[in-house]
Amino acid sequence: MKILLMGPPGAGKGSQSEKLVKDYELTNISTGEMFREAYRNNSPLGIEAMRYINKGELVSDEITNEIVRKRLLRSDAERCFLLDGYPRTVAQAEALDKMLEKMQSKLNAVINIVVDKQAILERMVGRRVCKSCGSTYHLSFKPPRVDGVCDSCGGELYQREDDQLDSVKNRLEIYETKTKPIIDYYSKRGILRNVDGMQSFDAVYKDIKQALGEVI
């Protein structure tokens, strides 16, 4: 099963993928997470990428395609994976098609989480992420049991630099101009399903599972 989870920043892609990868035994491939991990490891790629990420800009297609290409070649991505946050431009979608073609493979389903702008702002401003395991929380909608501490691993929670209002606004604008055209790209293939993201975590998850059942 090869799935792409898309939607605007803050739509809930990361939150839903945490459950999906466990239930369907998928390899999670999140470009945002890969860049943040590279930064934590002090790699030149991570440091270069973070210059764009903190401002809410996209990392170049060249760099992004290359890290995904390498990631897809690893054995755990051979059969089942979930892509979160990639592709984000039409050029990336075309590059992904070429990579998958080479692997004699293709995407089975594209799930697009639809959320309105006001909710996105609220979700991003209140988001907290675990420094160690990357689990996602929200101060109001999904608070950790102990303030500032991850329920899963006890790690410290922090606020992402790109969740500051200026970056958020930039990310939303870029989503509209660069990422939204991909919806059309995949809907023409009949594998895209829209899911209402303006519901509880569990209700969104239930709808995603139902949508996957329709296309796979």
How many whole angstroms separate alpha carbon 185 and alpha carbon 94?
9
How many whole angstroms separate alpha carbon 11 and alpha carbon 208?
13
DSSP string, 119-156: HHHHHHHTEEEETTT--EEETTTB--SBTTB-TTT-PB
Size of the site for Mg ion (CB under 5 A): 1
3-state DSSP assignment of residue 127:
strand
For Mg ion, give the closer residue by CB, 36 or 193. Answer: 36
Binding to Mg ion, residues 121-180 (CB under 5 A): none
Binding to ligand AP5, residues 93-122 (CB under 6 A): none
Q: Is 10 in the site for Mg ion (CB under 5 A)?
A: no
Inter-residue contact 182 to 87 (CB < 8 Å): yes
Q: Is 141 in the site for ligand AP5 (CB under 6 A)?
A: yes
Q: Is 88 in the site for ligand AP5 (CB under 6 A)?
A: yes
123 is catalytic: no
For Mg ion, give the closer residue by CB, 16 or 65. Answer: 16
> Of 2, 36, 71, 88, which is the active-site residue?
88
127 is catalytic: yes
Binding to ligand AP5, residues 33-52 (CB under 6 A): 35, 52
Q: What is the closest distance, in whole angstroms, from the C-beta atom of residue 99 to ligand AP5 in the complex? A: 13
Q: What is the closest distance, in whole angstroms, from the C-beta atom of residue 102 to Mg ion in the complex? A: 27
CA 174 to chain centre: 15
3-state DSSP assignment of residue 39:
helix
Q: Which of 123, 153, 154, 151 is nearest to 139 (CA)?
A: 123
171 is catalytic: yes
For ligand AP5, give the closer residue by CB, 2 or 138. Answer: 138
How many whole angstroms separate alpha carbon 92 and alpha carbon 98?
10
The pair of structure tokens assigned to 188 is 């023409």
Q: Is 14 in the site for Mg ion (CB under 5 A)?
A: yes
Q: Which residues are catalytic?
A: 13, 88, 127, 160, 171
Where do contacts with Mg ion occur on this chain (CB under 5 A)? Answer: 14
Where do contacts with ligand AP5 occur on this chain (CB under 6 A)? Answer: 7, 9-15, 31-32, 35, 52-53, 56-59, 64, 85-88, 92, 123, 126-127, 136-138, 141-142, 162, 171, 200-201, 204
